[in-house]
């Protein structure tokens, strides 16, 4: 690792905002292009790169860069993109399962209505930012409390509450024609 990089990382670990801003400005564009190439979705790529920089700032004191900062950042983006692809596939698999296996308690004549509602729910979820989708899934699909979600995602309970409030408000707007 070059001496300049070592100095930059040392300043970052001390909490020097200028060093973080330099790293952000220098690497943001190339990392975004790299993530876009992997995900084929610029919005998802932007969220991955922003999440990486948020994580870098939050965990700066524990950050261990062995060879070069560029290698560290590109490897992190690569793994985050793979994780994002897996989450997207799991969501699609879950949606497909729900669409093919309506709840047993739903009467036969209402299954079409149920399938339409399930599709609408997943369509609405796709419009949400990824963080809000994650929080909603953890709350509604996995049954976690707001406190458990906050601890798992390293965010405040107030942030979880705000995301859930916005998610539920969006559902109320978009699915009001269905009687639940």
Q: What is the SS3 assignment for 61-101?
A: HHCCCCCCHHHHHHHHHHHHHHHHHHHHHHHHHHHHHHHHC
The fold adopted by the segment(s) 3-83 is Rna Polymerase Sigma Factor; Chain: A (1.10.1740)
Instruction: Please state whether the predicted TM-score (pTM) of the whole model is above 0.75.
Output: no
pLDDT at site 101: 59
List the pLDDT tens digit at each of the 180 positions of the chain.
688 888 888 898 898 899 999 999 999 999 999 999 988 888 888 989 999 999 999 988 888 888 888 889 999 999 999 888 887 777 666 666 666 655 555 555 566 666 677 778 888 888 889 999 899 888 888 888 888 898 889 998 899 999 998 988 888 888 766 544
- Asked whether the beta carbons of 124 and 174 are under 8 A apart, the reply is yes
Tell me whether domains 3-83 and 107-174 share a fold: no
Query: Cα(14)–Cα(60) distance, rounded to whole angstroms?
Result: 8
**Residue 49, number of CB atoms within 10 A of its CB:** 26
pLDDT at site 123: 84
Query: Cα(120)–Cα(171) distance, rounded to whole angstroms?
Result: 9
Residue with tokens 């790293």: 23
pLDDT at site 96: 63
For domain 107-174, which CATH number applies: 3.40.640.10, 3.40.50.300, 1.10.10.10, 3.30.200.20? 1.10.10.10
Query: Cα(115)–Cα(106) distance, rounded to whole angstroms?
Result: 11
Query: Cα(167)–Cα(34) distance, rounded to whole angstroms?
Result: 30
pLDDT at site 180: 45
Question: What are the structural domain ranges in the chain?
Answer: 3-83, 107-174
pLDDT at site 2: 80
């Amino acid at each position: 690792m070059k001496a300049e990089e070592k100095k930059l990382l040392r300043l970052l670990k001390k909490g020097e905002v200028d060093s973080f801003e330099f790293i952000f400005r220098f690497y943001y564009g190339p990392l975004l292009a790299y993530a876009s190439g992997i995900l084929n979705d610029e919005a998802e790529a932007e969220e991955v790169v922003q999440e990486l920089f948020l994580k870098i700032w939050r965990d700066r004191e524990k950050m261990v860069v062995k060879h070069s900062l560029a290698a560290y950042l590109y490897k992190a983006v690569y793994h985050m993109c793979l994780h994002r692809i897996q989450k997207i596939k799991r969501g699609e698999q879950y949606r497909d399962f729900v669409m093919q296996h309506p709840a047993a308690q739903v009467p036969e004549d209402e299954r079409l209505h149920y399938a339409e509602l399930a599709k609408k729910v997943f369509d609405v979820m796709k419009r949400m930012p990824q963080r809000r989708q994650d929080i909603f899934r953890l709350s509604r699909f996995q049954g976690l409390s707001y406190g458990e979600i906050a601890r798992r995602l390293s965010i405040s309970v107030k942030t979880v509450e705000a995301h859930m409030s916005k998610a539920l408000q969006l559902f109320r707007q978009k699915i009001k024609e269905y009687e639940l």
